[in-house]
Structures are given as structure tokens and as C-alpha cells.
Amino acid sequence: MAINVTVWLYLLSLPTWLVAAQSVASQAYTPVAGTCPDGFTLVRMAGSLGNQSLSTSETAYVQARRSQVIPQALKTYLSNVEATNVTLPSYVSSILSGSSSETPNFGIAASGGGYRAAIFGAGVLNALDGRNASSNSAGLGGLLQAATYTAGLSGASWLLTSLAQANFPTIQELVFGHPNATVDNALWAGWNANYNIWTSSSNPVTITEYFTALVEEMQGKYHAGFPVSMADFWARALARHFVNGTYSSNFFDESYTHGAGILFSSLAQSESFASYTTPFPILVSDISSPGQNTSNIIQGNFVPISNPLVEFNVYETGSFDPMLSAFTPTKYLGTTNNSVCITNFDQLSLVAATSSEVFNEYNITNTLSSTFGPVLSLLNSLLPESGIELDAAPYPNPFYGVAPGTFLSSNQTYLTLLDGGEDGQVIPLQPLLVKARGVDTILAIDANFDVTNNFADGSSLIATQNRTTMLSSAYSFPPVPTSLGEFTAQNLSTRPTFFGCNVTSANETTPLLIYLANGGPPHNGEASVTNTTTSQGAYDSSQIQAMLDQTFVIATQGYPASSSMTTDPEWPACLACAIVDRARERAGQTRSGVCESCFARYCWSGSTVGVDAKSGGQAIVSSRWVLTLAVAIGILASV
Ligand SMILES: *[C@@H]1O[C@H](CO)[C@@H](O)[C@H](O)[C@H]1NC(C)=O
Ligand SMILES: *[C@@H]1O[C@H](CO)[C@@H](O)[C@H](O)[C@H]1NC(C)=O
Ligand SMILES: *[C@@H]1O[C@H](CO)[C@@H](O)[C@H](O)[C@H]1NC(C)=O
Ligand SMILES: *[C@@H]1O[C@H](CO)[C@@H](O)[C@H](O)[C@H]1NC(C)=O
Ligand SMILES: *[C@@H]1O[C@H](CO)[C@@H](O)[C@H](O)[C@H]1NC(C)=O
Ligand SMILES: *[C@@H]1O[C@H](CO)[C@@H](O)[C@H](O)[C@H]1NC(C)=O
Ligand SMILES: *[C@@H]1O[C@H](CO)[C@@H](O)[C@H](O)[C@H]1NC(C)=O
Ligand SMILES: *[C@@H]1O[C@H](CO)[C@@H](O)[C@H](O)[C@H]1NC(C)=O
Ligand SMILES: *[C@@H]1O[C@H](CO)[C@@H](O)[C@H](O)[C@H]1NC(C)=O
Ligand SMILES: *[C@@H]1O[C@H](CO)[C@@H](O)[C@H](O)[C@H]1NC(C)=O
Ligand SMILES: *[C@@H]1O[C@H](CO)[C@@H](O)[C@H](O)[C@H]1NC(C)=O
Ligand SMILES: *[C@@H]1O[C@H](CO)[C@@H](O)[C@H](O)[C@H]1NC(C)=O
């Protein structure tokens, strides 16, 4: 507690603060107003089932990627699967080699769960990466390159934004940086994970100066007339880890921009986008709004499951949820009419911070007396605002007056955005269920903290089943258990599980779901290292490497047929069977060969044997971050 008083007194005794010249980061973070370009349209209505449409830019990107990049990636992937020497049915080879008229449409969804989830997600992407020889030998390499989409929220939003802006490097380079990176050559420096993501340091004086610098970087935005909140503070912190420009040598040096000015929309011009090399990234946030139906808050969560979700992609921001079904250009976020256009609002760091904005969970009263209390005091006294929720991300509402009968925030001046997992859906599946995207198969990576030992247990899938049942006119989702008891009794989170294996002509457009959780130790007897707490804010390289390596084991081990085996030699073939299965269905082929035994082993049978009556039917999702922040703050208070 002593630190809070010290910090607070220090911050309030900065007489020169207001008159100080704005830092370069503050300038680069400030939105800019200008005249709208000819033909500018603030809102695009995205239609509904019969006439739903993607943006023309996304359509063009996906078509180019699916014709110019994915066919070769699938061939490479096929050769890796074939090298495992499991005989594949001819339809699998025919679809993957491009001899069939059907091309699989594959998407990857990576969950929240703080730094742990960012690392676990990175480890799974690495195991699918055709640039890693070990992944190729394991028979999974190439699948990352064959994905049409990636979706991420919270911790995984950090992973996906940093991957996209660093130009899609290998995972080793993404996490640890280029070995020769220096401020001068501007090579990517990696995640700077040895600096605590919450606090930067354990030294109270350093923390104080650091927090002050972050708040200073918000003043340009504030003076330009935009509300600022904890989300901007968090954005400036995340930027030092996941956006270009920060190195050990300049971490605390305020003469650098630290990633301010790098925009989400600007990634559309990056090399990896121009060459269609990167799977199309999508980030997810929740919307909170007055008038929301709080009886739809799933126990342990914060936002009603019935609220609309927002997705961000490099071209557009908005929602395909039927309550809104509208988008605005990401480049012009901050804009609310067709004449004055705002740019420079869609800071990459702000988008990642919005997807991981959890300060509301902590309860503003508690926040005031916590480590972040001084930040709020500073905001209140030096950047005073009224009517703004400081513990959420305020975005000028481009959808004001849109869908007034159904869209909760239609009458709100600002959208109030929060961590994408606060409704209980911690895996960002919704964007990949959008019918117009036509995704066949989804790899759902779950590294949430649901149960003891920081492992994931499947709660998120139950929440998504709940929501897609409510919104059945817009989304279809394969059946998953209705209770956690079933997940646990059938060990569905300690091995890869396929959901939605059986289809009829009525539901063959429902994606097949491959669920891969950080659900327990690997089968090879190693002690778990991937189950760190969500509150852990700093990691040294050796710990991250151990986590990545164990995640590689978890992603490549499969579901061994007997307990005496540590890996399933058929897993690469089985995964390939799942990747092509909807394309097989469309091509009118019958599932056969190893794919039949694979599906018998990997598909959820739908059986309800062993359901724990205590949790029957109720989705219990633990609140991931409350504990996190409490612990992080506890650590600080005891410094
Ligand atoms: C989609 O169809 C609905 C119902 O026919 C119509 O009201 C709506 O305007 C259409 N939307 C678009 C974007 O075409
Ligand atoms: C597959 O068979 C080839 C040729 O017999 C052999 O060289 C290779 O080691 C085998 N690979 C595996 C993973 O068993
Ligand atoms: C790093 O720099 C050294 C010395 O210039 C060079 O030999 C090496 O190839 C560089 N490493 C990489 C990965 O580029
Ligand atoms: C970030 O830095 C990397 C490495 O120098 C570069 O390839 C990439 O284009 C930069 N990204 C942005 C958005 O500036
Ligand atoms: C907007 O509508 C909601 C629900 O009807 C209501 O609770 C809220 O007070 C309204 N807000 C404004 C600013 O009019
Ligand atoms: C709120 O949700 C509950 C449960 O889904 C429903 O029964 C109730 O009618 C809803 N209330 C309103 C005002 O929509
Ligand atoms: C979804 O969750 C809400 C809130 O817990 C609950 O009221 C509702 O009955 C659930 N719906 C389904 C279909 O599980
Ligand atoms: C928020 O904090 C106050 C003061 O500690 C407490 O009374 C209240 O119950 C808390 N609210 C929630 C939702 O935790
Ligand atoms: C990780 O899981 C193991 C059990 O597999 C447990 O012993 C250990 O305490 C867990 N670690 C953490 C940090 O929760
Ligand atoms: C499709 O419908 C059938 C029959 O109702 C059902 O058994 C199957 O699980 C459904 N599949 C999916 C993917 O929803
Ligand atoms: C491939 O992945 C393994 C497992 O994490 C890792 O140890 C290795 O360094 C990676 N290789 C490359 C070239 O990235
Ligand atoms: C899928 O179909 C197979 C064979 O027809 C059957 O054994 C299995 O139980 C079905 N699975 C589900 C989830 O309905």
C-alpha cells in the first residue's frame, strides 16, 4: 500500500506536466480530422442471411489468397502429411493437391488468457508453420500457410496484431525478435517479455515514471477532443511489447514513439498483405450498453451473452450479428458523419488494448485503491472528462441511429468496448461462423484459465453454443456438450476433439470444429509448463521457449489410441481428414479409409455418459481477469 501513496503524491506533484511539450508518441497517437474523401460512406449495411456481404476489400484479399497462395500451401502440407507414411484415402490427396474442384476453407481461432494464451497460441501456430522443419516432420507444417483466416481476442489479439505488423515472421522471431535487432536497424525486437506487462518493473520509482509517461502519451488525443480512458493507457503499455519500435535499450526512453502511429488499417499496405502471405486477421471485442439484458450474463462473466460483438479487421470494424449487421471503415474509426473524417484513431495498440480491456472487471472502486488508482487520479485531475467510463474503451459511435430497434448502442454517443471474452466466449469463433465467409473447418485454440492449475475446460464452447442458439437465424454451430461435467468426464479438453463430424444436407455449411485446449500436461510425462497464471506479467526467454516447445508437443501428440503411447502416429492424417471433410462432402465423396477410424476416435460421440449432475446444463465460466488483476496488484502492493 505504501507504494500507492508514494506514487500518488509523486504524480500529483508534477507541476510542469501540463505545460510540457507533447512527446513524439503523444503526437503520433493523436487522431487527425480532415475532409472526407469523395464517395465516403460511414456505414456499410452488411445484409442478413439471404444477402449478407463481406467488404469488397476482404472479398478481394481472400479470393487472391485462395487462388494464389493457399493451393501451393496445401500441396506442401499434403507432402508433410504423406511423409508420415499413413495411407490417405484418395479424396484427401485429391482435395489437398488441388485436383478436386473443392478447396478447403480453414480458419484458426485463438483464445484469450493473457500472456499464457499469447504464448500457447503462438506455440500452436508454430506447430502448423511450414517454415519450421520440426513442424513439417511432425506432419502438421504448412497448415498455417493454408489458413484463410485467423481470429484472436485478448491475449491472442496481442499475438495476431504483433504477427501481422512484424510482417508475418516465424514464431521464434516474433516472440524473441531478430537476433541482430537494434534501435538503429529497426529490426523487430520481439515481445520484450522480460518487462512486466502490467507494471514494467518492480521498482516503484520506475513504475511511477513509466505510468506517467503512458498517461502523457494520451494528452494529444485528449486535447484533440477525444475521450481517453484506461484503454489508451493500456494501449501505450501493450505497444511496448507487441508493436515495432521498442528495444531493451529504449524501453523507458520517451524520445521514441514506441509504436504510436502504427495503424491497424495501415497493415493493409504491408508486404505480407500485398503478397497475400498472411491469413486474414480478425480481432474481437464485446460491447457493453445501457439497456442490456443483465439476466443474460453467464455466471462468472460481465457482459450479457446476448449483446452484440464487434470485430476489427484491417478494412472494416463492426458486426455481422443480426442486431447490427453494419460496418465502418477501420481507417476512419473516430468518424461519426460523412463530412469530417477522422484518421489515426485506429492505432494498432488501441485495437489490441480494446480486445483486452478488462479494467471494468476490477470494479472502479477497487481500481482507485489499487496500483492503477494513481493513473485514474491523474486522468481525473489532468484530463478531466464527464460521462466517460474510464474502465472501458470509448469509440465515437459510427452506428449512431443505425438499427434503432435492435442495436443496443444505437442511441449512444460512444461505443463502450471491452475485452472480447467478457461474455464467456473466450475463443473468438463468431467471425468464423459468419455464413458469407464460408469457413469449413475451424481450429479452436483454448488457453483460457477455467479450472484449477490454470487449464482450460471447454466453458467457452458452451457459451458459444448458448449464443448461437439465441442467434440461430444468423449462425450455426456444431453440437457440443451442454455441461462442463460432460467435457470433464469425457476428457475433451485433454486431447484434440472434433465437433460437428456428422452433417445432413440441412446443416452441411456448419463448420467442423477442431478443439485443441491447453487442458493438461502432455502425454509424454513432462511436467506442465504451459499453465502459468494469467497474472504473470513477465517472462524470461527460457521460460517462453519451454512453453513453446511443450505446446509443440501438445499440438502434435494427438489422441493416442492406448495409454502406453505418447503420440498418435495417425494424428497428422486425422487432422488432414478433418481439414478436407466439408470439401469432401461437397464433392459428394464418402468418408473412407483412415478417415473413418480417425473420426471414430476424434469426434465427440454426443454421448452424455458420466455427466456430473451438479453442473448439468449450466455453463460456468470463471472470471479470468479479476483474479489476475488482483494478483498483479497484490504483487505490486507487496513490493
Ligand atoms: C437485405 O435484405 C433485407 C430483407 O429483404 C433488406 O431489408 C435489406 O435492405 C437488404 N440489405 C442489403 C444490404 O442489401
Ligand atoms: C516413411 O517411409 C520412408 C520410406 O520407407 C522412410 O524413409 C521414412 O522414415 C518413413 N517415415 C516415417 C515417419 O516413418
Ligand atoms: C546478424 O549479424 C551477423 C553479423 O553481421 C551476420 O553474420 C548474421 O547473419 C546476422 N544474423 C541474421 C539472422 O541475419
Ligand atoms: C515493423 O518492423 C518490421 C521489421 O523491421 C518491418 O518488416 C515491418 O514492416 C514494420 N511494420 C510496420 C507496420 O511498420
Ligand atoms: C438509450 O436506450 C436505452 C434503452 O432503451 C436507454 O436505457 C438509455 O437511457 C438510452 N440512452 C440515451 C443516451 O438516450
Ligand atoms: C432478458 O433475457 C431473459 C432470458 O433470456 C428473457 O427471458 C427476458 O425476456 C429478457 N428481457 C428483456 C427485457 O428482453
Ligand atoms: C444462455 O445463458 C443465459 C445466461 O446464463 C441463460 O439464461 C440461458 O438460458 C442460456 N441459454 C441456453 C440456450 O443455454
Ligand atoms: C465493487 O467494490 C465495492 C467496494 O469494494 C463493493 O462494495 C462492490 O460490491 C463491488 N462490486 C462488484 C460488482 O464486485
Ligand atoms: C500446472 O499443472 C500442474 C499439474 O499438471 C500443477 O502441479 C502446477 O501447480 C500447475 N502450475 C500452475 C502455475 O498452476
Ligand atoms: C446436423 O443435423 C443432424 C440431424 O439433426 C445432427 O445429428 C448433426 O449433429 C448436425 N450436424 C451439425 C454439424 O450441426
Ligand atoms: C520449430 O519449433 C520448435 C518447437 O517450438 C522450436 O524449438 C524451433 O526453434 C523451431 N524452429 C524454427 C526454425 O523456428
Ligand atoms: C455420427 O455418425 C456415426 C455413424 O453414423 C455415429 O456412430 C455417431 O454416433 C454419430 N455422431 C454424432 C455426434 O451424432
Domain count, the chain: 1
* Cβ of 167 less than 6 Å from ligand 9: no
* 4-20 pLDDT tens trace: 444 444 554 454 444 45
Q: Is residue 36 part of a domain?
A: no
* Cβ of 366 less than 6 Å from ligand 8: yes
Q: Which pLDDT does position 633 carry in this prediction?
A: 45
The CA 409 to ligand 5 mean position distance, Å, reads: 8
Left (φ > 0), alpha (ψ -120 to 50) or beta: where does 53 sit?
Answer: beta
Q: How many CB atoms lie within 10 A of CB 2?
A: 10
- Say which amino acid occupies 621: V
The CA 48 to ligand 1 mean position distance, Å, reads: 7
How far from each other are the two terminal CA atoms of the chain, in whole angstroms?
A: 9
Q: Is residue 64 part of a domain?
A: yes
Distance CA 518, CA 466 (A): 22
The domain spanning residue 224 has which CATH number? Answer: 3.40.1090.10
* Cβ of 548 less than 6 Å from ligand 11: yes
Among 533, 198, 214, residue whose Cα is nearest residue 359:
198
* Cβ of 532 less than 6 Å from ligand 9: yes
Q: Which domain holds residue 487?
A: 44-636
The CA 589 to ligand 10 mean position distance, Å, reads: 18
Q: Which pLDDT does position 636 carry in this prediction?
A: 41
Q: Which residue owns the Cα nearest ligand 5 atom 9?
A: 290
Q: Is residue 2 part of a domain?
A: no
Distance CA 391, CA 416 (A): 10
Q: Which pLDDT does position 20 carry in this prediction?
A: 57
Distance CA 152, CA 421 (A): 10
Q: How many CB atoms lie within 10 A of CB 453?
A: 11
Q: Which residue owns the Cα nearest ligand 6 atom 3?
A: 295
- Say which amino acid occupies 128: L
The CA 343 to ligand 4 mean position distance, Å, reads: 20
3-state secondary structure of 396: strand
DSSP H/E element including 316: strand 316-319
The CA 460 to ligand 7 mean position distance, Å, reads: 13
Q: Which residue owns the Cα nearest ligand 8 atom 12?
A: 363
Q: Is residue 9 part of a domain?
A: no
Distance CA 246, CA 572 (A): 39
The CA 87 to ligand 2 mean position distance, Å, reads: 12
Q: Is residue 8 part of a domain?
A: no
* Cβ of 87 less than 6 Å from ligand 9: no
* Cβ of 365 less than 6 Å from ligand 8: yes
Distance CA 107, CA 432 (A): 7
Q: Which pLDDT does position 363 carry in this prediction?
A: 65
Q: Which pLDDT does position 45 carry in this prediction?
A: 98
- Those residues of the chain that have pLDDT short of 50 are 1-9, 12-13, 15-19, 609-627, 629-639
pTM higher than 0.75 for the full model?
yes
- 293 CA: nearest ligand 6 atom: 1
Distance CA 514, CA 497 (A): 6
Q: Is residue 1 part of a domain?
A: no
Q: Is residue 6 part of a domain?
A: no
Cell triple for residue 349?
A: 495498440
Cell triple for residue 75?
A: 500441396
Q: What is the CA radius of gyration of the chain?
A: 24
Distance CA 571, CA 314 (A): 34
Q: Which residue owns the Cα nearest ligand 11 atom 6?
A: 549
Query: Dihedral through CA 239, CA 240, CA 243, CA 247, nearest 10?
Result: 170
Q: Which ligand is nearest to the CA of 138?
A: 2
The CA 247 to ligand 9 mean position distance, Å, reads: 32
Among 575, 612, 415, 431, residue whose Cα is nearest residue 498:
575
Ligand 6 neighbours by CB, cut-off 6 Å: 293, 295-296
Q: Are 143 and 70 in contact (CB under 8 A)?
A: no
* Cβ of 185 less than 6 Å from ligand 3: no
* 276-317 pLDDT tens trace: 999 999 999 999 999 999 999 999 999 999 999 999 999 999
Q: Which residue owns the Cα nearest ligand 3 atom 2?
A: 180
Q: Which pLDDT does position 54 carry in this prediction?
A: 98
- C-alpha distances in Å from residue 356, one per residue of 89, 473, 537: 43, 29, 14
- C-alpha distances in Å from residue 578, one per residue of 96, 274, 496, 513: 12, 30, 11, 9
Distance CA 356, CA 156 (A): 9
Please tell me what DSSP assigns to residue 532: -
Q: Which pLDDT does position 362 carry in this prediction?
A: 74
Q: Is residue 11 part of a domain?
A: no
Distance CA 48, CA 23 (A): 46
Q: Which pLDDT does position 378 carry in this prediction?
A: 83
Distance CA 371, CA 362 (A): 12
Q: Which ligand is nearest to the CA of 45?
A: 1
